[in-house]
Amino acid sequence: MIQKTNKKTISFYLLLVIIALVMLFPVLWLLSTSLKSPQENIFQFPPQWLPTEPTFENFRTVWQSQPFGRYLLNSTVIAVFTVIFNLLFCSLAAYPLARLNFKGKDFIFASIVATIMIPFQIVMVPLYVLTVQLGLKNTYFGVMFPYLAGAFGIFLLRQAFSGVPKELEEAARMDGCSELGIWWFVMVPAVRPALVTLAIFTFIGSWGDFLWPLIVLDRPEFYTLPLGVARLAGTFSLDWRLIAAGSIISIAPVLLLFAFVQRYVISSNIGSGIKQ
């Protein structure tokens, strides 16, 4: 019986390793390509994963030829503030939908969730017109504008708020806490794993977004990293070593962020303060 269990465990982890390698293949190929010298063939088959003469010259060329420091700053500012505003507005919208009783609550929630089915390309034109009318073109806030709140975030946090025991809410209300105080001091700490999960998805979506910044930004000093990499491709006439180096610079902060915050994406014992 023990041997059978061990075989299942080994098979399970072997499957996970295979899936991980398949998912990491593009990143490993990018890293390998970015470290290769011009004398090496990057398109040979089977691919040569380890460069014969590893060099960081591609990274140096990219950093010196394009203002990647500025692109990195722009992407960081936009992604960080997008996460802050998204968590704030989504949690404020999700709390009454989960904990308060009022007429039309279910209809409002269903209407919000239904917007997930609408492709972004359909609302892109009216969003652009509104952004221009508000004077937000070529601004950080103009890039953040469509992502200040989202149906997915409201749905995720609404489900998380619904799982918080009512005893915590009732105890806070008996202590004289207002609805806003209950939201901030009781509900928000109780759903921290869901908030971290939403923050990761929002950050990755904002960091890697290409289409919307391309539409609302036409001044290079406001370009984000995806636009910088696209500009890089045109500058060097598809020199894949330099494009790979720029891509590694672009995705490295996301990988570091995920490695840092993944330990927070765990289930919290939100009912630990309740007497059984």
Residue 243 predicted with pLDDT over 70: yes
The structure tokens 């009512």 sit at: 166
Q: pTM, whole model, 2 decimals? A: 0.83
What is the number of structural domains in the chain?
2
Q: Are residues 117 and 227 in the same domain?
A: yes
Expressed as residue numbers, the domain containing 20 is: 2-55
Q: What is the CATH number of the domain that holds 178?
A: 1.10.3720.10
Answer whether residue 40 is part of any domain.
yes
- How much is the mean pLDDT over the chain? 86
| Distance, CA of 179 to CA of 96 (rounded, Å) | 9
Residue 79 predicted with pLDDT over 90: yes
CA angle 146, 199, 81 (to 5 degrees): 55
Q: Are residues 245 and 158 in the same domain?
A: yes
Q: Are residues 246 and 132 in the same domain?
A: yes
In which band, very low, low, confident or very high, does the pLDDT at 92 lie, cut at 50, 70 and 90? Answer: very high
Average pLDDT over residues 246-261: 84
Residue 63 predicted with pLDDT over 80: yes
CA distances from 54 to 25, 51, 58, 72, 242 (A): 19, 5, 10, 25, 14
Q: Are residues 84 and 195 in the same domain?
A: yes
Residue 269 predicted with pLDDT over 80: no
| Distance, CA of 124 to CA of 143 (rounded, Å) | 12
Q: Are residues 184 and 50 in the same domain?
A: no
In which band, very low, low, confident or very high, does the pLDDT at 2 lie, cut at 50, 70 and 90? Answer: low
Residue 77 predicted with pLDDT over 90: yes
Q: Are residues 33 and 119 in the same domain?
A: no
Q: 39 versus 31: which is more confidently predicted?
A: 31
The structure tokens 């098979």 sit at: 11
Q: What is the pLDDT of residues 172-192, one digit of tens each?
A: 888 888 889 999 999 999 999
Q: Are residues 41 and 104 in the same domain?
A: no
DSSP 134-160: TT-TTSHHHHHGGGSS-HHHHHHHHHH
- Confidence (pLDDT) at 55: 87
Q: 76: which 2 tokens?
A: 């960081």
Q: Are residues 78 and 99 in the same domain?
A: yes
Q: Are residues 122 and 23 in the same domain?
A: no
